[in-house]
Amino acid sequence: MSEAILDCSDLDQYLGKTVESSPIREPLGNTDIRRWVHAMHYPNLVHFDRDYAAQSRWGRLVAPQSFPVAMDESHGTAGACLGRIPDSHLLFAGDEFWHYGPRIFGGDVISNERIAHDYTVKETGFGPTCFQRGDNYYRNQHGELICKQRSTALRYNAAAGGARVDPAQFEEPEWSDDEIEALEARKFTWIKMLHDLGHDERWWDDVAIGDQLPERVFGPHSVASFTTEWRAYLFTIWGTIDRRQIDMEALGFTREMAGHENDPVMERINPELTDGAYYGPSRGHLFPRYARKIGMPRAYGYGASMGSWITDYLAGWAGEHGMVVHSIANYRGPALSGDITIQTAEVTDKSIEEDGRHLVHVKHLMQNQNGVKMCLGTAEIALPVRPG
């Protein structure tokens, strides 16, 4: 298939330009943070338990490092989905994050400056595919830069999406009661690690190259769990943001996948029609019929959630005195309904920066119960050093 079949010529006019904002209307509440960690399967007490958080280094509930993307109406892809590509679909392909230190608390007002970065066209299983990237700069009400996200979207021919679906994967795997019980015990191993570390430091001195981070497991995923994820993104709730006007058909989405998702005018007329859980490009996540039109065999999770799982996994291991400073995530496959997600990571290096910050370098992997790779990448984590 030739590159000419995928017309990306309209994208050039947007590169380097700022995307219209969709700011939140009220300051964040603690329950917005609680809803997020609940949906992301991240049972770290410092993010949802008031009494525990009061004993932390912050003295109050704090949002996880993964939280900024919850406030963007496009999951961080506004700058990676600009310009018309006729008769196309979109999937997440990856995220790169840089974290700068400021944390988010209840009462904060977070803004996001979004800029189209670049694109390239490559051959993939979808045929000619546009890898489009956009940058997000998340700041608080004081103008402090919290983090930068560079998001990558895949845009490909609509016909190619439906043509590559494997009917053999339409049915969800079944888990016996004994398997579920064993899975719950396996999940709790990582949760117990959070409890055991508590408010203490994970010292850089005690980490060695070759160390394996504790395995993190969650699932099986379901339409119910994906719906819980969806509702944790603030923009999915009526009236939470000042929505920009987006014409999905003008972007090249097919009519059945376009609809009125995020339409500020329709939200005041009939808000159900604007809800991506039911209509529009996001409904493929929850309805297998539409998932198969874009190349997925059954209901599947959100790319932005996968990026959050990675940040939470690494930040949870680092503890409240550590911080993920940089991460790269390349998404290779979705979290499908009925599957579980397994996260692992290995320490590949240690370093000391010129400013004295001590870093642990890791490579991380996310896969399902069959060993199918969902995501892989690298990260750098800052940890404290033992006194003296």
pLDDT in 10s for each residue of the chain, 388 residues: 344 479 999 999 999 999 988 899 999 999 999 999 999 999 999 999 999 999 999 999 999 999 999 988 888 888 999 899 999 988 899 999 999 999 999 999 999 999 999 999 999 988 999 999 999 999 999 999 999 999 999 999 988 888 888 899 999 999 999 999 999 999 999 999 999 999 999 999 999 999 999 999 999 999 999 999 999 999 999 999 999 888 888 888 887 788 888 899 999 999 999 998 998 888 989 999 999 988 899 999 999 999 999 999 999 999 999 999 999 999 999 999 999 999 999 999 999 999 999 999 999 999 999 999 999 999 999 999 999 8
**Cα(143)–Cα(16) distance, integer angstroms:** 21
Closest CA to 126 of 155, 153, 152, 151: 155
Looking at the DSSP bridge assignments, the partners of residue 97 are 149, 327
Structure tokens given for 286 = 């929850």
pTM: 0.95
Per-residue b or e along 356-375, where b marks 16 or more CB atoms closer than 10 Å to that residue's CB: eebbbbbebebbbbeeeebb
Give the length of the chain: 388
Closest CA to 222 of 265, 172, 264: 172
Closest CA to 257 of 240, 234, 274, 280: 280
Query: What pLDDT shows up at residue 259?
Result: 82
**Cα(254)–Cα(175) distance, integer angstroms:** 36
Query: What pLDDT shows up at residue 4?
Result: 46
| Inter-CA distances, 235 with 60, 160, 243, 257, 277, Å | 25, 30, 8, 19, 12
Query: What pLDDT shows up at residue 217?
Result: 98
Query: What pLDDT shows up at residue 2?
Result: 42
φ and ψ at residue 336, rounded to 5 degrees? -90, 150
Closest CA to 138 of 118, 108, 107, 114: 114
Query: What pLDDT shows up at residue 125?
Result: 87
- 69 contacts 97 by C-beta, under 8 angstroms: no
